[in-house]
């Protein structure tokens, strides 16, 4: 027992190679030494969510490549009738621009948060939430349009029946993530605006005095949601 304590206490006595890596992780000498539980748990959650979205997209690719029935053409399915003609993917392009722009406002919110500029941080988080809500609203419009045209989880008028189930499952799962993100953005923005992180006011998501880590954790979640949409956009609308 004494030898083990001395080994971890003196860097020169630590084992090398893979045993050294295992020793560092086991004794918390380097990995996660400065990370809070909130940030570490968010990274673990995002890693698990990556596997879920990855399985959904792999299932989509498998269904699309294995069905003998023609897959619907995204340029036709997701076109809007504007000015007497069909404009392909115009709504999807706007949705993507809105969501990617929200990553910029979220990044600035984190930056101003660590500068302890409450007003700018709260305003940028509210702007991020507004952009996220606009995205969900446009997605709801897209769903309503497709349902009115006959798309169901078990059939659609343009080809392979698997299209409807894959579309509603994956975009709905992502839209749920965005909706949850908007709710928590509003919660954290309210706490920033009230100065809870400066006055050490106790409550939901209140961190220690002067620390705006909750804003950064929200940023990690929001950037992940935006990144997932890039893959959904490529698989569903460009393939």
Q: Where are the domains of the chain?
A: 1-34, 35-238
CATH 3.90.230.10 is the classification of domain 35-238: no
Rounded to an integer, the average pLDDT of 62-74 is: 88
User: Rounded to the nearest 5°, which phi and psi values hold at 10?
Assistant: -110, 115
pLDDT tens across 93-141, in order?
Answer: 999 999 999 999 999 999 998 888 889 999 999 999 999 999 999 999 9
Residue 9, number of CB atoms within 10 A of its CB: 10
Question: What is the chain's alpha carbon radius of gyration, rounded to the nearest angstrom?
Answer: 23
pLDDT tens across 90-102, in order?
Answer: 999 999 999 999 9
C-alpha distances (whole Å) from 51 to each of 147, 148, 187, 232 are 29, 33, 28, 14
Among the listed residues 129, 123, 130, 111, the one whose alpha carbon sits nearest the alpha carbon of residue 212: 111
pLDDT tens across 142-201, in order?
Answer: 999 999 988 888 888 888 888 989 999 999 999 999 999 999 999 999 988 888 877 766
Answer whether residue 58 shows pLDDT above 90. Answer: yes
Q: Tell me if 121 sits within 8 A of 198, measured CB to CB.
A: no
Least confident range of 9-18, 24-33, 185-194: 24-33
Which two three-digit tokens encode residue 234? 């490529």
């Amino acid at each position: 027992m004494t030898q083990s304590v001395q080994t971890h206490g003196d860097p020169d006595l630590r084992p090398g190679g893979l045993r050294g890596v295992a020793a560092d992780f086991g004794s918390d000498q380097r990995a996660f030494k400065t990370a809070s539980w909130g940030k570490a748990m968010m990274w673990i959650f995002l890693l698990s969510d990556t596997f879920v979205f990855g399985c959904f997209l792999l299932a989509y690719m498998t269904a699309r490549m294995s069905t003998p029935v023609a897959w619907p053409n995204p340029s036709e399915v997701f076109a809007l009738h504007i000015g007497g003609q069909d404009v392909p993917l115009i709504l999807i392009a706007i949705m993507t621009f809105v969501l990617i722009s929200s990553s910029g406002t979220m990044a600035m919110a984190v930056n101003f948060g660590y500068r302890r500029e409450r007003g700018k941080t709260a305003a940028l988080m509210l702007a991020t939430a507004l952009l996220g809500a606009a995205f969900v609203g446009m997605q709801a419009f897209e769903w309503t349009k497709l349902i009115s045209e006959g798309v169901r989880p078990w059939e659609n008028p343009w080809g392979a029946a698997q299209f409807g189930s894959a579309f509603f499952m994956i975009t709905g799962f992502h839209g749920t993530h965005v909706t949850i993100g908007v709710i928590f953005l509003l919660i954290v923005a309210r706490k920033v605006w009230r100065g809870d992180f400066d006055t050490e006011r106790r409550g939901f998501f209140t961190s220690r005095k002067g620390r705006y880590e909750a804003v950064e954790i929200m940023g990690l979640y929001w950037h992940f949601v935006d990144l997932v949409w890039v893959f959904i956009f490529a698989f569903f609308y460009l393939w």
